[in-house]
Structure 1
Amino acid sequence: MIVDLLVRDAYIYVDRDWEVDGGWIAIENGRVHSIGKTSQEPPPAARTISARGRLVTPGLINAHHHMYQNLTRSYAPVTNGSLFEWLTGLYPLWAKLDEESLYLSTFVAMTELLMGGCTTSMDHMYVHPKPGLIDAQIKAGTDIGFRFYATRGSMTRSVEDGGLPPASVVQTEEEILADSIRLVERYHDASPGAMTRVALAPCSLFSVTERLMSETARLADRYDLRLHTHLAEDPDEDDYCARVYGCTPTEYFERVGWASKRSWVAHYIYPSHDEIGRLAQAGVCATQCPCSNMLIGGGSADAMALRARGMPVGLGCDGSASTDHASLWLEARTALLLGRYRNGPRSMTARDALEMATRGGAACLGWEDEIGHLRPGACADLVIWKMSDVALAGAHTDPVEAWLRCGPAVAGTTIVNGKVLVEDGEPVMPQLGDVLTRHARHARRIQCLEA
């Protein structure tokens, strides 16, 4: 038998309890076929890639993102505001989104993620000034060959209703529920090895009605879907929930039927000790977004403390207008630094951060059987990491620790579904130049930089 692709001469991090120092990995039909040591003869392959002793890991998984925001990266008028100030400053700009700008921003985001070693990403798209925006995102993922978990985000409360966004980007409950059903029935692929899946994701507890939260949970039960939202991200959220609902954000989350194994939440910075235990017991997962949280200055989840309580934790880039980048490697490194700064040098290792970026993200998406590891039968999503010889000079004992400590690291080769999408550090999409040109035009239009 001749396999499709063979990666050899690598240090392979297969999974949290399996590493191969000097080995090969064979890929066939978009799956991991087999793994062996250099001393074992690999199967013949149609194509062979030498990793030249580099680290190979599972593709990283981005469990929280807002891809459209790369159209307003590092937007000067709001760079130093609080979370709520930042949102109210940017919502009027995001009201100018259309199908083309969504396609372009998603294409750019996915390309950037691939260059940072990410092979699967969700996107929390909750601003809907025009119809068909998530359709445009799914088309971008299909055109690239990226494994994409679209989420149908939503908002119902505008400024007129006591919310933050303008009325032009919110929708009625009926519009949201109907379009959720349409997207799920058209695009959600629950089959093994799927390239496109769909989850339901009202933006936040303070941006949608209680009825929409409850009805969305029921819709997820009906179609067997994942659920996602922001939770306990900012003290202002505590004040809002106390004033409007007479409870904490976590208590409200439980009240509307979201405390279940279907759900994963972004941030989860300000829960109580008891609330963490209850959601962990219910099977809820969380996503830490360390770079975004630190730039906004609103605190960050204690990821290792959440994991110690039994809550799986993934990593997310969050919005490209708060993080201003889309590198899961940088998020993993920042998570490591933040964890050790917060809790001491023995509290977290590079393998903990890598596990959050792989197995943790897969748990958030409910996809641990196929992604986040490289065991035989897993989806063939993997990264050959590239670092300069100067950066690695002297690092000879632990390639995984060196991966985050030495840096910067980029993807030398990124493989998704058995196909090479980044090679020699560069994306292989031929249309990227045109996409960047058009993206720049839309970014200038949205930021009011063009007459």
Structure 2
Amino acid sequence: MTVDLLVRDAHVYVDRGWEVAGGWVAIKGNRVHAIGKPGEEPEAKRTISARGRLVTPGLINAHHHMYQNLTRSYAPVTNGTLFEWLTGLYPLWADLDEESVYLSTYIAMAELLMGGCTTSMDHMYVHPKPFLIDAQFRASTDIGFRFYATRGSMTRSVEDGGLPPKSVVQDEETILADSVRLVEKYHDASAGSMTRVALAPCSLFSVTERIMSESARLAEKYDLRLHTHLAEDPQEDIYCAEVYGCTPTEYFERVGWASNRSWVAHYIYPSDDEIGRLAHAGVCTAQCPCSNMLIGGGAADAMGLRARGMMVGLGCDGSASTDHASMWLESRTALLLGRFRNGPNSMSARDALDIATRGGAACLGWEDEIGHLRPGACADLVIWEMSDIALAGAHTDPVEAWLRCGPATAGTTIVNGKVLVENSRPTMAGLNDVLREHARHARRIQRLAA
């Protein structure tokens, strides 16, 4: 049998517990067809030599806010707390429109591809204009990126005791109606799909209790995932105690979210008992190490959560808090943070890679098809590129070298069987035009706020 694409001469990390030195990956259509040892390669229409490099499944970004790359490193808020940072940036994000969201999504996906990410969710919770998530789907389709949109929402403006201006929040009926519209138009639950939708009220302190409970009801009706921020900041505990008379996790449980449909971002400040309860319920979490460290808000204990039975993925988080969209950098930072926190024997590069692949797939409820390279999996993989100087002397363990040495970028990124990054550059022909327009919109938004 002749396959469509053969990646050979690689150290192939197939899945946890399965690696092939000097191996190959055969792709037929949009699926992994076979994995093998040297000398067993099938005939192929196209062959790519990895030249001894590491090949892994595509990394999975389990928490992001793509529109925020329009306000990266915005000087007035670079040293603020989480709430100061949000309050300073909400007025800028009030000027988002369909075109700026399309451009920011396109750039975010190109950047993610260069950092080895082949599937990403996005938490779009700012809606100053309608049809912003539709613009995101246009961008993902134009690129060929595997995209899991989440319909975020906020109902509480400054006038209602919240943080954002009124121009970026919506009423309950608008949110619920648009959630149904997006699910019915874009959510594709079929095998190997490229577009899926989850429901994602921004946070417990930014939406009404009705939005939380109705989102859970819609998730049951349409068989959807649920996502929100949870236990990210100590001020959240104060707010929930004053408004709901309970902790954030207790409120999360009260509104019907403690189920295996849900994954949450951050989860930094729960009690041990709360971790155990959510883990038992099947809730997953996305650690965002770079963003949380940069904004000084603490960080989840990924390995501690895993030890309690909770599946953990990784997220870049907002491009205006992390200021980058490299899942390699998130993986390396997760490794360093884990070892710094719990000691040198607490976490390995393979643990970090497992979190960035299998863990992310668990967050999205997609473990059967993505996050690994077993035959039948979606053909999403990365050939990692690192300079020979950076790798000099690293001859015994290519997976450890992947995160200990560096920096590493994607030399080749394949999504759905198609090469989207080649020779460390995105293959999209119109990227330069998009960059120019992105710069124009970023300057417009930041000038308006000046």
Q: Using the alignment, how far apart are the partners of 2:319 and 2:35 within structure 1?
A: 36
- Tell me the distance in 2 between the aligned counterparts of 1:163 and 1:23: 54
The percent of aligned pairs where both chains have the same amino acid is 85
1:43 Cα deviation from its structure 2 partner: 1.4
- 1:47-446 correspondence to structure 2 within 5 Å: 47-446=46-445
Distance 2:448 2:208 in 1: 35
- Give 1:49 shift: 0.2
Q: CA RMSD in A?
A: 0.8
User: 5 Å matches for 1:1-20?
Assistant: 1-20=1-20
User: 1:2 Cα shift?
Assistant: 1.4
TM-score normalized by structure 1?
0.99
Match of 1:448, SS state, is: helix
Contact 2:91 2:449 survives alignment (8 Å): no
Q: Deviations over 1:258-302 (max 9, x none)?
A: 000000000000000000000000000000000000000010000
Amino acid at match of 2:118: T
- Return the letter of the residue paired with 1:239: I
Alpha-carbon deviation of 1:449?
Answer: 7.0
1:339 and 1:347 in contact (8 A); partners too: yes
1:29 CA drift (Å): 1.0
Between Structure 1 and Structure 2, how many residues are aligned? Answer: 450
| Secondary structure in 2 matching 1:6 | strand
The residue correspondences of 1:11-50 to structure 2 (distance < 5 A) are: 11-40=11-40, 42-50=41-49
Contact map agreement 1:99 1:133 (CA 8 A) in 2: yes
Query: Please, which runs of 5 or more residues in structure 1 have no aligned partner?
Result: none
CA distance in 1, matches of 2:350, 2:200: 30
Give me the whole-angstrom Cα distance separating, in 2, the residues matched to 1:17 and 1:313.
18
CA contact (8 A) 1:444 1:450 kept: no
Conservation of the 8 A alpha-carbon contact between 2:92 and 2:448 = no
Amino acid at match of 2:129: K
**CA 1:186–1:449 in 2, change beyond 3 Å: closer, same or farther?**
closer
Residues 154 and 170, structure 1, Cα contact 8 Å, conserved in 2: yes
Amino acid at match of 2:51: R
Give the SS at the match of 2:428.
coil
Deviation at 1:450, TM superposition (A): 10
Question: 1:68, 1:102 within 8 Å by CA — same for their partners in 2?
Answer: yes
Say whether the 8 Å CA contact 1:9–1:24 is kept in structure 2. Answer: yes
Shift of 1:17: 1.1
Q: Distance in 2 between matches of 1:17 and 1:450?
A: 51
Q: Secondary structure at the match of 1:447?
A: helix
Preserved CA contact (<8 Å) 2:60 2:361:
yes
SS of 2:447 mapped into structure 1:
coil
Note the C-alpha offset of 1:39.
3.0
Report how far residue 247 of structure 1 moved: 0.3
CA distance in 2, matches of 1:220, 1:132: 21
Runs of 4 or more consecutive aligned structure 1 residues displaced over 6 Å after TM superposition: none
TM-score of the two chains, using structure 2 as the length reference: 0.99
* Mapped contact 2:10–2:53 kept (Cα < 8 A): yes
Describe the shift of the 1:211–1:433 C-alpha distance in structure 2 as closer, same or farther (beyond 3 A): same
